Structure 1
Amino acid sequence: GQFTEDGELGVVKVTVPCGRKYDKTQLMNSIHSLCSVPFTPVDFHCDKHRIQFFVPDFRIASALKDISYKIHNEYFQKIPIFVNPSVAPYSVQNRFTKEEMEQLKLAMRKRYDVSQHALCLKKLRFDPDLMKNNIHMILNHRSCMAATLQIIQENFPKLRTVWELEKMKGLKLEQLWLEGNPLCSTFPDRSSYIRAVLECFPELSYPDGRKLLPPTVMNTQERKLMKPCKDIFMGSEVIKNQVHRFLREYYLMYDSEERQGLLNIYHDQACFSLTIPFNPNDPDLNSMYVYFKDENDMKNFKEFHIQRQLLKYTKQDIVECLRGFPQTLHAFSSFQVNICFQMETMLCFSVCGLFKEEGTPKECVRAFMRIFIALLGSSNMYIVNDQLFVRNPSSEEINSAFVIPSPTSYSNFKLVLSQEQQRMVQAFSTQSGMKLEWSQKCLEDNKWDYARAAEVFTMLQTKCKIPKEFFKQ
Structure 2
Amino acid sequence: MSNFSIRGRGGRGRGGGGRGGFNNGHGGFSNNNPGMFTMNNGGGNGNPAFGSHGGNFGGQPDGPVQVSMKGWQGGTQDSLYKFLDRKLSTPAQIMDSHIQNDIMYITVPNQAIAQSLLKLSGIRFAGNKLTLQIPKNPVKFGTMECRSSSDIKDKLVALLQTRVDRQGVALDLSNLASDPIIISMGADPLHSGKIYVAILTVASQMFPNIITMNLASNGLHSLKPVADLGFKFPKLRNLSLANNALSNFRELDCLSTKGSTDPLQELVELILDGNPMREQELSRVPDGSTYINQVHERFPTVSMLDMNAVTPVAQPGSASRNGGSNAVAKNKQLPFPTKPSFVENSEIEQLANGFIAGFIGLYDGSRADLGNIYDANAQFSLMVDTTHPSSVSAQNDPRSQKRVELSSYLSISRNMERTLLKLPATRHPMQDAQKFSFEAWQTEVPSSTGSQAAIIVNLHGEFDEPAATNTLSFDRVFVLIPAVPGSPAAMAGWPCAILHDQLTVRRYNGFENWQSGADQATSAAAAAPAAGGGVDQFGGLAGEQLAMAQALQTQTKMNAEWTVKCLTESGWNYQQALATFEQARAQLPPAAFQ
Q: Same fold (TM over 0.5)?
A: no
TM-score for the superposition, normalised by structure 2 = 0.27
